Amino acid sequence: MNLPTMRTRVRRDLHDEDATAYRWTDNELDRHIQRALDEVSVASPVEAKATLTTTAGSRDLSLSSLTGLIAVEAVEYPTGKYPPSYVRFSLWASALTLLVDAAPTGAESVWVFHGKLHTLDATTSTLPSSLEDLVATGAAAYAALEWSSFATNRVNVGGEEVWRQYLTWGQDRMAAFLRRLTKLGQKHAVRVRSLYTPSQPRPSQSTDWGP
């Protein structure tokens, strides 16, 4: 599904399909779609693997090349071993520090397993079909809630209660969206931790470090 198709789907949910009298512009709906897409991305990001290169004498690596980065899940160094050699690491701003005894002696590969934002544009999408309905639900909820706030105390062609109807509908959709987001996030967290088991047990005092 691309962005125009998603937009059409959201308009259908909002009963806003009369092209001669749209209640929401394309740009407005695109903004709501992007907001919902970002929320879904945090709960279930694109799973990606990047290769970074060390510098002699330094344990630090820049993450600036990882666009749309949400979270680093695991770091493998040295690479290509079996079983994989996952190492502990710390993060600060856009820098990742390998928590290893000896600093790299030269240019060596480091595999960074991370989650990143989904993309949805005019021609392409990283969003799996199983999550398309969730994004549409969230986008429609955001659109309805924003419009109900805007329309309060304004004269509406559909009557004085139109804004209240959108408010109630939007609140119901938002509640459903947030419930599914919570379940999705829990499911993703369990899956990631089962994929990337540290080669050494994680020390109890290092709960905010990666594997």
What Å distances lie between residue 41 and 70, 115, 121, 127, 208, CA to CA?
8, 8, 15, 9, 21
CATH number assigned to the domain with residue range 46-116, chosen from the 4 options 2.30.30, 2.40.30, 1.10.3210, 2.60.120: 2.40.30
What Å distances lie between residue 43 and 66, 113, 133, 137, 195, CA to CA?
18, 16, 15, 15, 17
* Per-residue confidence (pLDDT) for residue 161, from 0 to 100: 62
* Per-residue confidence (pLDDT) for residue 191, from 0 to 100: 77
- Block residue for tokens 């931790």: 193
H/E stretch holding 38: helix 26-43
* Per-residue confidence (pLDDT) for residue 40, from 0 to 100: 97
Q: Residues in the chain with pLDDT < 70?
A: 150-163, 197-211
Amino acid at 104: P
Summarize pLDDT for 40-60 with one digit per residue, the tens.
Answer: 999 999 999 999 999 999 999
- The one-character DSSP state at 44 is S
